Amino acid sequence: MKPIVFATNNSHKLSEIRAILGAQFSIKSLSDIGCHADIPETADTLEGNALQKARYVFEHYHTACFADDTGLEVTALKGAPGVHTARYAYPDRQDTEANTDRLLRELQGKADRSARFRTVIAYIDNNGEEHLFDGIVEGHITTERRGIEGFGYDPVFAPNDTGRTFAQMGVTAKNNISHRARAVAKLCDFLNKHQ
């Protein structure tokens, strides 16, 4: 089984990916391959950031690899926070509570609260060919926090037709429909056809 490197050290993401791909593929993290660099994410699109991280790994380790990037795109905010989702409140650090507060503030008085989570995965195969996959879940931003599960913006993001926020759904139900799960499913299909 040829290893594929997932350009992350986020243990939550790793176990999620291994649960989906682990039976057929050997998924290695950055620390598994001895990479402790803080890989730059300076592009101005999700695609650009995912490619930047995957290219870094391919150029330094010459192995098949993939990286992901996720953004919350809010219609009334013209697609913001988008590529700035992790650092929406403060440009230099991730503060989940402050990010959510800012989002609720920006949407005060706005009738259109529709939004979507979008994940992009960039995969580079052993020949250096690049492939992009995305996963989208449409929904809306609630007017206040609801639920305690999950992370990030989960308490204020309600996927369409569920009547609940991600934070009220529980991890298993969320992972059935989430943006990340949908992007990973496309990667999985691709790998099954091409490996």
Interface residue with ligand IMP, options 77, 166, 182, 187 (CB under 6 A): 166
Nearer to ligand IMP (CB atom), residue 16 or residue 32: 16
Q: Choosing from 32, 44, 69, 92, which is the catalytic residue?
A: 69
Give least dist CB 70 to ligand IMP, A: 4
Q: Does 69 bind ligand IMP (CB under 6 A)?
A: yes
CB atoms under 10 Å from CB of 144, counted, come to: 9
Asked about 92 being catalytic, the answer comes back as no
Question: Total residues at the site for ligand IMP (CB under 6 A)?
Answer: 12
Q: Where are the alpha helices (DSSP H) in the chain?
A: 11-21, 46-61, 96-106, 166-169, 171-177, 179-194
Nearer to ligand IMP (CB atom), residue 54 or residue 152: 152
Q: Does 135 bind ligand IMP (CB under 6 A)?
A: no
Give the H or E element holding residue 66.
strand 65-74
Q: Does 70 bind ligand IMP (CB under 6 A)?
A: yes
| Residue 146, helix vs strand vs coil | coil
Amino acid at 136: I
Q: Does 168 bind ligand IMP (CB under 6 A)?
A: no
**Stretch 75-94 residues interacting with ligand IMP (CB under 6 A):** 85-86, 94
In sequence order, the 6+-apart residues with CB closer than 8 A to the CB of 89 are: 95, 98, 99, 101, 102
Q: Does 152 bind ligand IMP (CB under 6 A)?
A: yes
Name the nearest CA neighbour of 133 among 181, 195, 84, 192: 181
* CA distance linking residue 18 with residue 180, whole number of Å: 13
DSSP 8-state code for residue 69:
E
Q: Does 58 bind ligand IMP (CB under 6 A)?
A: no
Interface residue with ligand IMP, options 29, 153, 159, 187 (CB under 6 A): 153
Q: Which stretch binds ligand IMP (CB under 6 A): 32-40, 55-63, 125-133, 149-157?
A: 149-157
Q: Give catalytic residue positions.
A: 69
